[in-house]
Structure 1
Amino acid sequence: MTALIILAAGASSRLGFPKQTLLYKGKTLLELAIEAGIKSRCHEVMVVLGANADTIEPGIKQYNISILHNPDWANGMASSITTAMTEVMQNPAIRSVVIMLCDQPFVTRTLIDSLLFKQQQTGKHLIACTYSDTVGVPALFTHRLFEQLLQLQGQEGAKKLITDHPDQVATIPFEKGGIDIDTVADYEALIGNT
């Protein structure tokens, strides 16, 4: 069983307002991420909220997902991963997790399912996406890496495990994975390309 974890707790400080609520093709960025997860072969979708949760949560209440609150969101991405993994590890049926961000608008159900398929195909414990000369999220981690995800600190994200365990990593291509929304210019470029 695989759980999908969507990290959506950040304050969007470079943008100046919650990126989770930005509209793209009639949906918010967070809704697009949630819908890709719900349509995928993942059994459960978890969204970790933090900054601006009061603004964001009403817009996602209609989905059949777990909404987790990270009171330590200001301490960095690791705290959101810890929040989610603490929940995951209470369910021994969950044998792998996919971790993704809420601001990569081109993540699809097909991409998420490709991570699961690649893991079955290769037996590797970490399946990541390649894009823009890097390896990153969305990424799948099997239960063998759960404790290490729990031990991440501060600004460390899932990428630390990818770097630490190159022998355990298999990859899939994600052509538009480098497109994420951190600034107004990023958002304007996204809207301009539709």
Structure 2
Amino acid sequence: MTGASAVAGLLLAAGGGRRLGGRPKALLEFRGGPLAEHAARVLHEGGCAPVHVVVGAGAAEVQARLGSTGTVLVENPDWPRGMGTSLRAGLASLAAATDPVAVSAVLVTLVDQPRVGAEAVARVLAAHRAGARLAAAAYGGERGHPVLLAREHWAGAARAADGDMGARAYLRQHTAAIRLVECADVASPDDVDTPDDLGLLR
């Protein structure tokens, strides 16, 4: 494909941090600001535009702290039902707000992976620029995030999203079509899920 079309960024940042004692992950402090601010900046710096951020737990505070980051905030009232609802909300927002000719794909990231940076985002975007319609970062050959979905895959991914699965079920159905982009040399997919993981933020 040509480089004419943009790739949107979609940050899933609605989780309530149940295993963190109910601290919304989007509001965890990282490098002087909320984790969601850092993750949105990573998408911008990696080459994504526009960037939509799905919020849920602590939505009002997240919105207040992200108001000037140049992102589109999407509130997901169904966030307690799992990540799948956030993926559906984000894809619906992008489909309604973006021109199919101007925005060819979306790159999806998770707010709780602070060691996935702009270089990993840029690598996955490059795979799309080279023709991939489905692409994902890989870590030692194992698929992880970011995940890129060309626009023709949005509806199918939204239909398949369920519970905490996000796009996993859809990607499993289309494994042969996914271009894996090794990123272990520049990023790490470690999640901030429990108090023991908070060291990832230091």
* TM-score, length-scaled by structure 1: 0.90
Matched, 1:7 2:23: no
Q: Give the conservation status (yes or no) of the 8 Å contact 2:137–2:144.
A: yes
Aligned to 2:70: 64
Does the C-alpha gap of structure 1 residues 133 and 188 become closer, same or farther in structure 2, counting only changes over 3 Å? same
Aligned to 1:146: 154
Aligned to 1:185: 196
Q: Give the conservation status (yes or no) of the 8 Å contact 2:29–2:201.
A: no
SS at match of 2:103: coil
1:142 positional shift? 0.4
User: d(CA) in 2 for partners of 1:190 and 1:65?
Assistant: 22
Matched, 1:81 2:121: no
User: d(CA) in 2 for partners of 1:182 and 1:174?
Assistant: 21
Give the partner amino acid of 2:13. A
Matched, 1:53 2:53: no
1:189 positional shift? 5.0
User: d(CA) in 1 for partners of 2:189 and 2:140?
Assistant: 6
In the TM superposition, 1:101-120 aligns within 5 A as 101-120=110-129
Aligned to 1:25: 31
User: d(CA) in 1 for partners of 2:84 and 2:138?
Assistant: 21
User: d(CA) in 2 for partners of 1:189 and 1:4?
Assistant: 23
Q: Give the conservation status (yes or no) of the 8 Å contact 1:136–1:159.
A: no
1:159 positional shift? 2.1
C-alpha distance after superposition, 1:62-92 (max 9, x if no partner): 1111000011111111111111111111222
Aligned to 1:38: 44
Aligned to 1:134: 142
Q: Give the conservation status (yes or no) of the 8 Å contact 2:8–2:49.
A: yes
User: d(CA) in 1 for partners of 2:91 and 2:50?
Assistant: 13
Stretches of structure 1 lacking an aligned partner (at least 5 in a row): none
Aligned to 2:3: none
User: d(CA) in 2 for partners of 1:139 and 1:182?
Assistant: 20
SS at match of 2:15: coil
Q: Give the conservation status (yes or no) of the 8 Å contact 1:8–1:102.
A: yes
Q: Give the conservation status (yes or no) of the 8 Å contact 2:133–2:149.
A: yes
User: d(CA) in 1 for partners of 2:168 and 2:72?
Assistant: 24
How many pairs does the alignment contain? 190
Give the partner amino acid of 2:68. Q
